[in-house]
Amino acid sequence: DAKTTQPTSMDCAEGRAANLPCNHSTISGNEYVYWYRQIHSQGPQYIIHGLKNNETNEMASLIITEDRKSSTLILPHATLRDTAVYYCIVRPPMDSNYQLIWGAGTKLIIKP
């Protein structure tokens, strides 16, 4: 079963910041939070990941709460090309039975 809860869909105006929430209340201390997105008819694309601290890269920022039970992915200036399904995934440490559990994700629609 998926360990994360995300809203089914969200809208955001072009040029504004898109804030995508994710709940992972059962996360363990050594589990990472990963974000991927899937643009229509393409394979999933890695965005960012983090353990405890906030992270930022050229695509997005990841804010993880102090208790690590939730996180927010921020796309600072959304464009129409950011319309996609965004997946929040809790990734366990590498072990012999490693497997990513993909939930339904959040369908983000950027409107002009």
Partner 1 sequence: DAGVIQSPRHEVTEMGQEVTLRCKPISGHDYLFWYRQTMMRGLELLIYFNNNVPIDDSGMPEDRFSAKMPNASFSTLKIQPSEPRDSAVYFCASSLVAPDTQYFGPGTRLTVL
Distance CA 23, CA 4 (A): 6
Please say which residue, 42 or 53, places its beta carbon nearer to partner 1: 42
Least Cβ distance, residue 53 to partner 1 (angstroms): 17
Please say which residue, 3 or 12, places its beta carbon nearer to partner 1: 3
Least Cβ distance, residue 73 to partner 1 (angstroms): 16
Cβ-proximal residues to 60 (8 Å cutoff; 6+ apart), any chain:
35, 47, 48, 73, 74, 75, 76
Least Cβ distance, residue 109 to partner 1 (angstroms): 18
Please say which residue, 102 or 109, places its beta carbon nearer to partner 1: 102
**Would you say 18 and 75 are in contact if contact means Cβ atoms under 8 Å apart?**
yes
Q: In the complex, which residues of this chain contact partner 1 (CB under 8 A)?
A: 32, 34, 42-46, 49, 91, 94, 96-100, 102-104
